[in-house]
């Protein structure tokens, strides 16, 4: 019980840190307006990987040999996380924040639908109610219909939905690797080793000359993002999956857009009544997801 509560706390902290991503990217683009989303993704992933490797000497080592299928899972995490990150950053670049975040957070539905088959987690009606309520609350919070759709919105929405697919895959595979007593990797090891695959994959996607747009200010902003919401947020989330079911964890990550909008309100943005209702539904759904069920 105590470990499960701690797991919920770790997911909440990770999700709240991820709510700052858009502002990290805006900060980097303030210094380098021509910065490409693929270059941003590559730099962030490089920082995540280096930071995780720097923590490895203080981590426990596995007491058993890792099976090839477990290493294959780590390799898939590298590919899937790379695609998750780059597609999300592309969505932010191509469409409005409401459209990008709403499509990205189709992920809890994908996880809730796949967890019984992929992880043999016993489905529960409470999980579906929390997931559905959270996603509906997200739509009301962000109100993607409130502005005129631009010519690039369809591409941005497609990128956001694509990132949701790979994000859901990450949650399921991480839970598969971490959700048992003899887990073959620690959270830090997973973060470090999957980056060995993800970083060169993302670098290969950067267009010719794309990294040339970086300057000191934008590099420092992306490095900050790579350490805090990137590495530390990711490690906390993976650690939480030792004790929290995948479907509930993904529902709790709806706190990410809640925080993103909260920051915008703190900076002076006003919310419509429907958005306040949506925010309340997200918080209520998060509380519902954390309830223990039989």
pLDDT tens digits for range 206-257: 998 889 999 999 999 999 999 999 999 999 999 998 888 887 888 788 888 8
Average pLDDT, integer, range 156-160: 87
What is the pTM (predicted TM-score) of this model?
0.84
Average pLDDT, integer, range 7-24: 91
Output the pLDDT for position 234: 93
Q: Is the pLDDT reported for residue 265 higher than 80? A: no
Closest CA to 164 of 125, 211, 131, 190: 131
pLDDT band at 163 (very low <50, low <70, confident <90, very high): very high
Which of 203-207, 269-273, 287-291 is predicted most confidently?
A: 203-207
Output the pLDDT for position 75: 97
Measuring CA to CA, how many Å separate 123 from each of 105, 111, 126, 133, 197?
Answer: 20, 11, 9, 16, 33
Measuring CA to CA, how many Å separate 106 from each of 42, 249, 254?
Answer: 24, 14, 10
> DSSP letters along the chain, please?
-HHHHHHHHHHHHHHHHHTTHHHHHHHHHHH-TT--HHHHHHHHHHHHHHHHHHHGGGSPPPSSPPPHHHHHHHHHHHHHHHHHHHHHHHHHHHS-HHHHHHHHTTHHHHHHHHHHHHT-PPP-HHHHHHHHHHHHHHHHHH-TTSS---TTHHHHHHHHHHHHHHHHHHHHHHHHHHSSTT-SS-HHHHHHHHHHHHHHHHHHHSPTTGGGG--HHHHHHHHHHIIIIIIIHHHHHHHHTTTS-HHHHHHHTTHHHHHHHHHHHHTT----HHHHHHHHHHHHHHHHHTS---
Closest CA to 169 of 218, 126, 106, 124: 106
Confirm if 273 and 146 have CB atoms less than 8 A apart: no
Residues 40-87: pLDDT tens digits? 999 999 999 999 999 998 877 666 688 899 999 999 999 999 999 999
Q: What percent of the chain has pLDDT over 70?
A: 92
């Amino acid at each position: 019980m105590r470990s499960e509560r701690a797991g919920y706390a770790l997911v909440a902290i990770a999700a709240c840190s991820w709510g700052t991503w858009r502002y990290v990217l805006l900060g980097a683009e303030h210094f380098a307006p021509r910065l490409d989303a693929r270059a941003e993704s590559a730099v962030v992933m490089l920082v995540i990987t280096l930071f995780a490797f720097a923590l490895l000497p203080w981590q426990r080592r596995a007491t058993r040999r890792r099976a090839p299928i477990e290493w294959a899972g780590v390799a898939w995490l590298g590919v899937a996380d790379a695609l998750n990150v780059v597609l999300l950053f592309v969505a932010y670049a191509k469409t409005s924040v409401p459209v990008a975040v709403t499509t990205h957070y189709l992920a809890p539905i994908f996880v809730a639908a796949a967890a019984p088959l992929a992880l043999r987690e016993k489905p529960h009606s409470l999980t579906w109610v929390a997931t559905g309520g959270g996603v509906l609350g997200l739509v009301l919070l962000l109100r993607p219909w409130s502005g005129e759709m631009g010519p690039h919105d369809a591409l941005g929405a497609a990128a956001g939905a694509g990132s949701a697919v790979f994000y859901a895959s990450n949650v399921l595979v991480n839970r598969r690797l971490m959700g048992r007593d003899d887990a073959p990797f620690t959270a830090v090891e997973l973060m470090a080793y999957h980056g060995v695959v993800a970083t060169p994959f993302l670098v290969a996607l950067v267009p010719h000359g794309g990294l040339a747009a970086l300057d000191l200010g934008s590099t420092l902003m992306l490095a900050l993002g790579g350490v805090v919401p990137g590495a530390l947020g990711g490690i906390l989330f993976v650690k939480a999956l030792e004790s929290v079911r995948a479907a509930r964890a993904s529902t709790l990550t709806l706190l990410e857009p809640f925080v993103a909008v909260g920051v915008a309100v703190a900076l002076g943005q006003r919310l419509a009544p429907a958005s306040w209702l949506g925010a309340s539904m997200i918080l209520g759904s998060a509380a519902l997801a954390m309830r223990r069920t039989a």
